[in-house]
Each structure stands twice: as structure tokens, then as C-alpha cells.
Structure 1
């Protein structure tokens, strides 16, 4: 065994020095001499991980775990290998096992937080991340992962604290500076955000993501402005696959300046790059809409009268991206009795929560017919508990939730909260679709990078909203973006009446409110209402014909 220990010591020494080939030879010799021992296999797994050979790492570590299923570090490394291989289910399994075997293994909780967050299991991710920072108080990575989870939850103050701590621990990391800037922007600290975006660019001039947001903090009148020159310089230096953010940024500058052909060329280049990373299946989307419409019928609701909880606290704001949802939330958030929740992810897990509640083989939404009154009451209570955590127990009469995917879940939301108000934000179809195409959206919007796909999505959205307006007419108020811009005071009064709140003059001056807004439009709601975006698509009409044709299939062009 002394020989084995010596070989593994030499392998570890070579691994630290970056001599992967030498480390592998030493570990492989140890494995051949002690085939029943898990330790040489663990070392081989570590070496393969460092080399980026994730399949090989997983193979070695699976064998190690077969030999000793109670070794927490082997389980942790195996979970990490599965993460890197793109197998989140296996990663969660092994990382959870590592945490169970060794509740003090902070690295395992940190990786578990990350993979649960990527899998949409946000509440579990938060618990893992909170344990990780307890065990790893000096880990910028742990604070970064937990900050990302808090942002998804809408806990923006907590997210900002995580981002600030990560930056204190590792101030020279450009991505950490970028994440801190995003968190500052989300809570309305625009000047501080710009400072950290530019700090990220100082640290790494070819780091593209800050540019995409920086240019949205300014209006440009010169296509050769200093920022434009810097972006064009970086376009010549970065690989094509990494140029998407830069093309979006340059397109925004050109759009401000009214150089339409040049702006659209940049938007096209950006979207081609981003679209190659996504797979939007329009038929799958249509099938999903069909299933939702079939499940939530007037008869379904009549048979379940009395389900849920009578709370009026939640206010759900739905609509396409760029349709005015952030604007409406910001108007409400200026009211003293309203908390702006933003895009709360809790109901983003609704499919899984409902399937888990009813059991059986039926998938969502078919399984909703198996829900009992008790199931719905429990879902409602759990969500209200989540809202209490979100507001640190502070009492608000109304809390907004503008998660995009709630559009698909309005039937369930009504079943759970039959008295909750739903605000539908609507905007001119061409303006909406072109506005989506002009910006980089979250990965959860894979349709956004192709003119035809955006139009297909819009048509599906309208079909779904037509259904909800038919089966839930008393609970939905539709607000047209254009009407809100031209008649703000009257529509604000109607909006407050609809959600059951008294008039508050602050709602008209919403742009002066420091309420937190984490969204694509965060920087835009810091200024008064304006009509600049209305009809903006018309300048690009000749380029948008593919989109218009598809919208016209539904009479929307």
C-alpha cells in the first residue's frame, strides 16, 4: 500500500503543477496495482476533470463510487462531472448524496445550488446556496451562485448583498463585476451600475456582455460615438461566436442615430449567432397551447367552485416581453401598498408542483383534473408563505408577479387564487415583435432570435389570451401600451380601481420611485412615459416582411 500511496502522492504533485500526462501515468499505475481500491480511480477522475475529459472523468468516478459509496468527495466529483457533461438529473443525485454523507462539504452544496438553479428547482437551490456560504464564507463562487438564485426568486436586496460580497472577495474578476452591475441596475442604482460595467471592461476589454446593457443606459446621436468605436474595435478581435452582444450593442447605437439599414444589419448578425444556440419548436408550443385550452374549460372551473384561497394579495401581470409589463408593474409599485415582485419564479415550477401533488402518470396540464380542493389550498398557502419571505414579513396589500410563463398558467392561478386580479399588457404586434428581436433575451425565450419564430410565438400568445379572456373574463383587465402612454392618468386610475387600491399620486410619477425592477426594461422605467417606441417598427418595414406575413395569418399584421 505504501507504493500506491507514493504513486498517488506523485500524481497529485504533478496535477498541481499542470503536468496532466505525468499525473495520469502515476495514477494509472496505482490503479493497476490496486484494482479494488477507489482512491486511484478518484485521482484519475480529478485529472480527467482538469483536462476537460468529462466522459472519462465520469467513468472513473462511477467506478470509485461503486467501490465506496460513502466517500463524499468521490460523490461530489462525480456530481460535478455529470454537471459538466450536461446531465443535471445525475448531478443532483450525486451532489445530494455527497451532502448527505458529509453535511460539512461546502463545495458540494455550492455545486448543488448551481445545478438546481439551472434545473428550475429554485427553492431547493436557495437552501443549498445558503448552506454553501455558511460553509464557504470566503468563496466568491458560492456567493455568485446564490446571488443568481436570489435574482430568479425576485429577492433583489439579498441578491445585491451576495454580488457585493463576491466582488469584495474577488474584485479583479470581470464577470463578478458584471453581475454586481446587473444587481445594482435592478434596484435602480444606475450610475453605480455603469461604473461596474465599465470596471468589467477595464479588466477584460474583449468581455462583450457589459456592452449590451451599457448602451441601453444612454441615447446616442452619433454613430461614431466613443462607445461605438470601442465596440467596433472589439468586433475585430473576438471569435464570431462571441460577437452577439457586441452586434446587439452596436445595433442599438445605430438605431438611436436613425441609421436604419446599418442598425438592422447588426441586429441580424446578432440574432443569427444567438439563434444557432437555441432550438425553438413551434409545433411543441402549439401542442402545449392546445393542451392548456383543452384542460381549462368553463366546465372545469364550474366543477371546482370554492377551490383555492380567497386572498387578493397576488396580482399577476402577463403579456409578451416588451409589451409594457414592466411599465405597469412600475406604476403599481409606486403605490405605498404595493410590493413589486418582478419575475417571481415560484409558479415557474408549477408543472412539477402539480404533477408531484397529484401523483400518477398524467403530465401537466392533463393532470389538473386530479387536483383536490386541499391540493389547491396548499399550493396557495405555500405561495403566500413565499411572498412573506420575499417582503421580509412586511405587510403589503398587493404583490405583483410578472413571470412570463404565467401566461400558460392563468387557469391554475385562478383555481388557486380565485379573487386574484390578472393584468394583461398588450402592444401593437409589429412593435412588440421587433422590440424583442432588437435585444438579447434570457435563454428561456428561444423564439426571440428569428423574425418568423417571434411572430409564431405572438400568434400562440394571442390564441392563449383569447381563451383566458373567454373563460376568466371578470378577473382580467387588458391595458394597451399605446393607450397608457397617451392617457396615463386615466388608465392609472382604472388600474388602481381594478386591483382594489385607492388613488396615489406617486403612481403617476412612477419613474421617481426606487422600487426594484429586474427585467429587460429595467433602465427604461427610470424615465417618464414617452412615445418614442410607438410605431418604431415602421422605419424597418422593408426588413420585417417575413414577420408581418406570419402575424397576418392571425389577422394581426
Structure 2
């Protein structure tokens, strides 16, 4: 069924409902259900079916439809609102209250649900919750109806429709702050970071008293790795918004991003000294200690976060993600109980599932382990609404746009030899390679920098989108873009002549990198496909890497990555050094010398003793690379072989 045909039938059902022709609407819904529908279409049909059943008084049937819908889209705010109405109609006040709460959690623009919650809070004399609900109602009622409608569309994942409504409103109401904030948020969700940053910067300048604009701007700058800018703006804004916790946290996290860890730790501890009941601050403090290798203090901080917020899934996942930490049987049992609580949010449940997956893996209960890994991935994949075809299409676009003539006929770029890019799949050994190279006296390790992604976003033109616009970049543009990269990344460097940018996803942008930084070195960190893919499947990433939350998706992404790397080898022969993780395990000294020869720096024995190098490490592999070379990560998928058919089928000949 084409998208147009489907939409026509959906519109016909809506007209029938509006005309109170419920029998006709039911018949049309049943016809649609019998068709072959993609998940998003099925969600829309189930929602309409639930509405029709509720209006017909068939509340049990409506609840059944909604439960099926929520299995497909567990963060569907309007579905929870419908569920609440049905529980209300059947006299189940407790279930109704829970559903209204979840509705507002996943779609904060649902004014009707907030009003229902306000009445519930007043009935229970919950003054703090009543104040929160009243503030949100006042805020939503103060929004122009088109903006409120656009927010509703955004929270229900209808991003295109939300953007269209928002842009139409801004054409008539230029510089409206709430519409600017919404359009910026839509830009962030579309990963058009350059446009979003410009919008938020403008909004803060135009409306300096708008705290929401300030917080959104700082959040985006942090996402883009512009930590120095966050510190500068935070210092300025704290004079206006004195002692604001969100701004102070933004500043402390930025200091952490700039490797000023001692100052960040001091800020976190000061915040906790004034109020220990701040789980998010304990979590951030734990992350700070983890980057320095102080696992005892990190463990204590994460446990405190869980103590003050027992449903705080990220606290448990952070413990599990330290790799060396082991949950005892009592802790696992308590976590299972928490994960089953009806009030737990999807986000916390996802974190708990990954933590339980790791916990049961450590206790060698592989059946339970995989069940929790699988559940966590299922929830995450449906929450992010990821479509692997978009990544595959983006890679095809890179191959089509970046042909040999792009590099042979073009000149320019900033000639600095400083950058060393380590690219590839996550969980492929890039942190190990970075730790080895950063143990050299002339090479600085930094972190996974967002600067290439940000610069690439900034060049996408109106006539030609990225990467097809690369052919139109002038010599001067390439020079200035390369210079910008060097200047922007100076904050993260030490005194070495060279520095490492280990953002793995930069493999997508090698063509762009070689246009703006022709002398940059690029290392492709490669690992056994099944070890690599399964390691991704078990890892809950802080952001991005959405491909990792499905066995089929991660396998297809890996194969697309290999295809693109083969393309770079064909058009940029010899420019990229491939380093196989298993070869490093087999012959550390030989591979170290091979990398240093490629980089043009002399051999230093310190690179072989990389685990003794003291530096801040902010990736999941932080603990592993502080140990001598070992094979603990090899073959970790084998106890799960029976459950990994969707992955293994992609690599039958590997």
C-alpha cells in the first residue's frame, strides 16, 4: 500500500468518526488491519481503532487495541491518554492516574491530561505536584494554538508535519520565541545542528530572560562538544539566573569535557553539599571519577544516585558499564523488581534492562541475560524510531558524490598535519588504539569530537545537499573549514604536535575530511564482525548509534560501513590505514610500529605500555584500556549463539 493510499483511507476513517458513523469507521479499520502495514502505519490504525471502541463504549476492546499499540510504540503519549480515558470510564481511578501521568511524560503538550492530573493532585493534597501541573497548564495555555499543535505533533514523532506548522507560524510571527525554540528542537532531532544552533543563539540574544532558550542553547552546545563556549555562556548567564541548577550542571559538565576534571568534581561536590538528594549530580560525579580511573569513588557516586532515586535506570547501567563492577544476587533481584514496577519510565526501564543483561551475563545466566538485552534493545529501537535504510542511503550518497575526480580536480584545504582521525564501528577497538597512540610523547589523545559533523552540517546548501555540495566548495572555503576545525579543537589538545579525534562515525565523512584537511591521517579500527556487532548490541550508548539496537540493523550497518570503507580505499588509495583489532592482540609491537610509521613519528616503548599512561578516558572501554593487552572481549557472543540467528545469517561466510 502506498503512503498516499494509506493516508486517504486514514482521512476517510477520521471523517466517519467526526460524523459519528462509528460502524462504518470500524469496518474501514478492520479492512486496513488486514493489509500489510509497516509499524508506523499499524500504530496509527490501532490508535483510531481504540478511539472508535471508546466512543462506542467498548472499553475492554479499546484497552486491548492500545496495549497492542504500546507494544509497538511504548512512548506514544496520546495512546496513554486514550488508555486513561478508558480506565476512567470503567472506574479504575488508579490506572487512569498512572496513564495520564505517562501521557504527559511522553507528550508534555497534552493539555487535557495535565488538567486531569491537576484534579487528581488536588484530590490527594499533593501540593508540589499540583504546583508543577498548574505551571505546565499555564505555559501550554499561553502558547499560540499552532505552536501547541506543532509541539503535540513533534512529541508524537510526526516531525515533518510539526516543522511545516511551525514554519508557517513563523512566517506570520517572525522571531516568536516558542516557535523558534520548537524549530530548533526539530532541527536537533533531524541532526541539522548548524541551523538549530543559529536559531537558539538568536533566541537567547533576542530574549535574554528566556531561561528555556538558555538551557536549550547550552544543551546543544554540549552535544556539539563546544565546551569552552558553554563555560563562557554559563558564567554570563549565572549572573542573571543566580544558582540555577541546570546552568551550573551545564558548566560543570563542560569543564569535564575540557578535561578540567578537578574543577568539575569540585562543582559537583559543592552542589551535593547544599543538597545531597540530587541523583543527577551524583551520576555526573560518578562519570567524572570514572574518566580518571577512580572506580571506587565512581561506584560510590552511582550507588548514591540509585539510593536517592531507586528507579534511576542510568545509575544501575553506569555501574554495569564500568565492566569491573559485579551485581550480587540480591541486587539483581531488587533490580528485576524495580524493572517490573508499572510506574517506571521507558527510559529508566531501558537502562535497567541493559544493566540486568550485563548482570546476568556476569553470573553466566545467559538465557536471562539475553532476554534483558533483547528487551532493552527492543524498547530503545522503538523509542528512537530508527530506520536502517536512512543510513544505507546516506552511505550510497557518499559513494556517489565522492568519486576520484572530487579529489584529483580539486585543491585547497588547510595544510595542517596535526589531526589523526580514528574511525570505524563503535566497540571495534578504537579506544585501545587511541590509548596506544596517546602514550607517544608527540601525540595528544582527546575524545570523540563532534566538530567534523558540525562543519559538515554547515556546508549543506539549498541547491545541493550534503555530500553532493562538496564538489562546489571553493579552494578558499576548504581552507577556512579546515582552519576552523583546527581552531575549534585546540581546546582539547595538550602540547603534542599531533592529536587524535576518535569519533567513530567520521568514517561517513572521510571525503569531507580530505577536502578540508588534506594532510590529516586516518586510521580505520576494524574488528571481527560478529564480536563487534554483538558488542554494539549489548552497549547502551549515551546518544546516537541507533543502529546498534537491533541484530539485523547492526549487521546491515556493519556491512554498509565495510562497503563505504572499500570505496574510500578505491578513491583515496593509501590514505587510510586499516588496523585489525585481532592483529593488535596477536602482535602488539608490530602493529604499533606500523601505525607510527604511517603517522611519521618515531617508535617509543611507552606505546607498548599504554595501560600505564594516565589520561582521561570517556568511552565505555575506559577500564579495559587501563589493563595490559588481553583477549577478554573475543568470542563473547558464543554463549548466545542460539539467539543470534538474525545476526549470524549476515556473516555466514565471514
Q: Indicate the TM-score class for this superposition, using the shorter chain for normalisation.
A: 0.7 to 0.9
2:141 paired residue among 42, 56, 67: 56
Contact 2:357 2:371 in 1 (8 A): yes
Q: In the aligned structure 1, how far is the partner of 2:227 from the partner of 2:574?
A: 32
Give the SS at the match of 1:172: coil
Quick one: structure 1 residues 123 and 404, their matched pair in 2 at CA, closer, same or farther if it must change by over 3 Å? farther
Contact 2:456 2:512 in 1 (8 A): no
2:454 counterpart of 1:349: yes
2:403 counterpart of 1:301: no
Which residue of 2 is the match for residue 182 of structure 1? 287
Contact 2:234 2:250 in 1 (8 A): yes
Contact 2:311 2:344 in 1 (8 A): no
Give the SS at the match of 1:532: coil
Q: In the aligned structure 2, how far is the partner of 1:133 from the partner of 1:438?
A: 40
Residues 90-239 of structure 1 correspond to what in structure 2 (within 5 A)? Answer: 96=201, 99-101=204-206, 103=208, 108-115=213-220, 117=222, 128-136=233-241, 138-148=243-253, 163-164=268-269, 166-167=271-272, 170-219=275-324, 224-237=328-341, 239=344
Q: In the aligned structure 2, how far is the partner of 1:506 from the partner of 1:536?
A: 29
Quick one: structure 1 residues 438 and 91, their matched pair in 2 at CA, closer, same or farther if it must change by over 3 Å? closer
Of the structure 1 ranges 135-144 and 261-270, higher mean CA displacement relative to structure 2 is found in 135-144
Q: In the aligned structure 2, how far is the partner of 1:336 from the partner of 1:541?
A: 43
Which residue of 1 is the match for residue 361 of structure 2? 255
CA shift at 1:309, angstroms?
A: 2.3
Which residue of 1 is the match for residue 51 of structure 2? none
CA shift at 1:351, angstroms?
A: 2.6
Q: In the aligned structure 2, how far is the partner of 1:51 from the partner of 1:191?
A: 40
Q: In the aligned structure 2, how far is the partner of 1:210 from the partner of 1:310?
A: 44
Q: In the aligned structure 1, how far is the partner of 2:451 from the partner of 2:581?
A: 27
CA shift at 1:501, angstroms?
A: 2.1
Q: In the aligned structure 2, how far is the partner of 1:169 from the partner of 1:240?
A: 28
Which residue of 2 is the match for residue 27 of structure 1? none
CA shift at 1:409, angstroms?
A: 0.5
Of the structure 1 ranges 345-354 and 294-303, higher mean CA displacement relative to structure 2 is found in 345-354
Contact 1:316 1:402 in 2 (8 A): yes
Which residue of 2 is the match for residue 266 of structure 1? 372
Contact 2:381 2:550 in 1 (8 A): yes
What do the CA deviations read for 1:354-403 (whole angstroms, capped 9, x no partner)? Answer: 23xxx542111111111111111111111111222223xx4311110011
What do the CA deviations read for 1:130-153 (whole angstroms, capped 9, x no partner)? Answer: 532454452221022344556677
Q: In the aligned structure 2, how far is the partner of 1:470 from the partner of 1:489?
A: 29
Higher relative contact order (CA 8 A, sep 6+): 1
Q: In the aligned structure 1, how far is the partner of 2:239 from the partner of 2:480?
A: 31
Contact 2:448 2:503 in 1 (8 A): yes
Q: In the aligned structure 2, how far is the partner of 1:154 from the partner of 1:352?
A: 26
Which residue of 2 is the match for residue 381 of structure 1? 483
Give the SS at the match of 1:339: strand
Contact 1:309 1:377 in 2 (8 A): yes
Q: In the aligned structure 1, how far is the partner of 2:259 from the partner of 2:134?
A: 34
Q: In the aligned structure 2, how far is the partner of 1:368 from the partner of 1:539?
A: 46
Q: In the aligned structure 2, how far is the partner of 1:303 from the partner of 1:452?
A: 39
CA shift at 1:232, angstroms?
A: 2.7
Q: In the aligned structure 2, how far is the partner of 1:453 from the partner of 1:494?
A: 33
Which residue of 2 is the match for residue 324 of structure 1? 429
Q: In the aligned structure 2, how far is the partner of 1:192 from the partner of 1:152?
A: 19
Which residue of 2 is the match for residue 8 of structure 1? none
1:502 paired residue among 598, 602, 614: 602
Which residue of 1 is the match for residue 78 of structure 2? none
Query: Structure 1: which 5+ runs fail to align?
Result: 1-19, 25-45, 64-68
Contact 2:354 2:373 in 1 (8 A): yes
Quick one: structure 1 residues 262 and 98, their matched pair in 2 at CA, closer, same or farther if it must change by over 3 Å? closer
Of the structure 1 ranges 233-242 and 135-144, higher mean CA displacement relative to structure 2 is found in 233-242
Q: In the aligned structure 1, how far is the partner of 2:402 from the partner of 2:264?
A: 36
Residues 20-99 of structure 1 correspond to what in structure 2 (within 5 A)? Answer: 50-51=135-136, 55-59=140-144, 96=201, 99=204
Quick one: structure 1 residues 389 and 299, their matched pair in 2 at CA, closer, same or farther if it must change by over 3 Å? same
Q: In the aligned structure 1, how far is the partner of 2:320 from the partner of 2:294?
A: 16
Quick one: structure 1 residues 216 and 102, their matched pair in 2 at CA, closer, same or farther if it must change by over 3 Å? closer
Query: Structure 2: which 5+ runs fail to align?
Result: 1-113, 119-130, 149-169
Q: In the aligned structure 2, how far is the partner of 1:122 from the partner of 1:288?
A: 29
Which residue of 1 is the match for residue 81 of structure 2? none
Give the SS at the match of 1:478: strand
2:467 counterpart of 1:361: no
CA shift at 1:322, angstroms?
A: 0.5
2:641 paired residue among 538, 541, 551: 541
Which residue of 2 is the match for residue 448 of structure 1? 548
Contact 2:184 2:200 in 1 (8 A): no
Cα RMSD (Å): 3.5
Quick one: structure 1 residues 389 and 131, their matched pair in 2 at CA, closer, same or farther if it must change by over 3 Å? same
CA shift at 1:155, angstroms?
A: 7.2
Residues 425-436 of structure 1 correspond to what in structure 2 (within 5 A)? Answer: 425-436=525-536
What do the CA deviations read for 1:292-351 (whole angstroms, capped 9, x no partner)? Answer: 11111111111014x212222100001101000111111111222221111001112133
Contact 2:259 2:616 in 1 (8 A): no
Quick one: structure 1 residues 304 and 432, their matched pair in 2 at CA, closer, same or farther if it must change by over 3 Å? same
CA shift at 1:225, angstroms?
A: 3.4
CA shift at 1:100, angstroms?
A: 2.8
CA shift at 1:508, angstroms?
A: 1.8
Which residue of 2 is the match for residue 518 of structure 1? 618
Which residue of 2 is the match for residue 399 of structure 1? 499
Quick one: structure 1 residues 96 and 320, their matched pair in 2 at CA, closer, same or farther if it must change by over 3 Å? closer
The TM-score with structure 2 as length reference comes to 0.68
2:557 counterpart of 1:460: no
Quick one: structure 1 residues 351 and 373, their matched pair in 2 at CA, closer, same or farther if it must change by over 3 Å? same
Q: In the aligned structure 2, how far is the partner of 1:346 from the partner of 1:126?
A: 17
Contact 1:319 1:425 in 2 (8 A): yes
